[in-house]
């Protein structure tokens, strides 16, 4: 086991006891034998701490205390981490069995890459499958032009820890698009590799930040584009204007269009309105 690279996984957690045990078990049940698992809870008032304590003998480190939000929690965990590779897994997502072994194998076979990522499955709050999704190979320029979700789902991505430290961890001024900013920074400094393997279950539900704070997410996304290269802002700006135009439509027309588009994000919103 000592010959295998240590992989550090951090779970930021706050009042998501409904999903947290599923997340923890998905990490602890991995067949890769050298995982450092860190849970950083922001002082939850639900049953999250009770769940963490249930597995604390198998968790490398955990704490439950007030923090400055998700970005702060992830950085807090990563600064304690000792792994050669690292990732973060939100407390409502989960890893697929065997995911870490596949990721490590890809890193070892491709020592020139700084990020390895795979495919994913959108699930709802009951674990029902919404959509099977495939990532695509990308780079710094393509991420800025087309955005993240076309290429990479955050819970399916792992990084060289030294590279994460070198770029200064996650920018804590971001609270919505911190994963996009992180991936763009990493892509600027290193090669990225997509592997055709399912790595994670990406949960969508009505209380996710992307569902409830879409406008703020867009503002942070555009800030990422402006931060790194203004020349690549045309496509993101067009998509943002389309987003704003859609939300100016009458509610009945928006509901009609959501039903016609049949995207998983629309499905979540429509289910929430029933």
User: How distant, in Å, are the alpha carbons of 4, 51, 98, 154 from that of 200?
Assistant: 22, 21, 10, 9
**Structure tokens given for 174:** 């971001």
**So what's the pLDDT on residue 229?**
84
First to last CA, the chain: 51
pTM: 0.92
Instruction: Tell me the Cα Rg of the chain.
Output: 18
Residues 149 and 139: their CA atoms lie apart, in Å, by 13
In this structure, are residues 84 and 51 in contact, taking their beta carbons and an 8 Å threshold? Answer: no
The angle formed by the CA atoms of residues 11, 144 and 159, to the nearest 5 degrees, is 35
Q: Which two tokens stand for residue 30?
A: 């991995």
CA 230 to chain centre: 25
Instruction: Domain ranges for the chain, please list them.
Output: 7-205, 211-273
Query: What are the pLDDT tens digits along the chain (274 aa)?
Result: 558 999 999 999 999 999 999 999 999 999 999 999 999 999 999 999 999 999 999 999 999 999 999 999 999 999 999 999 999 999 999 999 999 999 999 999 999 999 999 999 999 999 999 999 999 999 999 999 999 988 999 999 999 999 999 999 999 999 999 999 999 999 999 999 999 999 999 999 766 554 446 888 889 999 999 999 888 888 888 988 988 898 888 988 888 888 888 777 777 766 766 5
| pLDDT computed for residue 206 by the predictor | 66
7-205 maps to CATH 1.20.1440.60: no
Q: Is the dihedral of CA 213, 171, 195, 123 positive or negative?
A: negative
Give CA–CA dist 193/137, Å, rounded. Answer: 6
pLDDT of residue 211: 46
């Amino acid at each position: 086991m000592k010959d295998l690279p240590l992989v550090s996984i951090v779970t930021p957690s706050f009042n998501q006891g409904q999903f947290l045990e599923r997340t923890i078990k998905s990490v602890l049940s991995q067949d890769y034998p050298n995982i450092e698992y860190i849970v950083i809870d922001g002082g939850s008032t639900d049953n999250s701490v009770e769940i963490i304590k249930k597995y604390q003998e198998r968790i490398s480190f955990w704490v439950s205390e007030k923090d400055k939000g998700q970005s702060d929690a992830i950085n807090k965990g990563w600064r304690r981490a000792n792994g050669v590779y690292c990732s973060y897994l939100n407390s409502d997502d989960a890893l697929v069995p065997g995911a870490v072994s596949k990721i490590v194998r890809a890193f070892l076979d491709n020592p020139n890459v700084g990020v390895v990522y795979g495919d994913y499955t959108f699930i709802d709050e009951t674990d029902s499958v919404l959509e099977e999704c495939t990532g695509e190979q990308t780079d710094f320029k393509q991420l800025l032009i087309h955005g993240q979700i076309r290429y990479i789902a955050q819970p399916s991505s792992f990084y060289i820890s030294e590279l994460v430290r070198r770029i200064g961890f996650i920018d804590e001024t971001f609270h919505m698009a911190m994963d996009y900013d992180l991936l763009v920074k990493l892509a600027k400094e290193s090669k990225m590799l997509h592997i055709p393997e399912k790595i994670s279950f990406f949960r969508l539900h009505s209380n996710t930040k992307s569902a409830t704070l879409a406008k703020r997410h867009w503002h942070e996304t555009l800030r990422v584009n402006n931060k790194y290269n203004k020349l690549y802002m045309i496509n993101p700006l067009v998509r943002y204007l389309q987003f704003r135009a859609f939300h100016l439509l009458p509610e009945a027309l928006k509901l009609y269009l959501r039903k016609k588009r049949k995207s998983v994000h629309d499905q979540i919103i429509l289910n929430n309105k029933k």
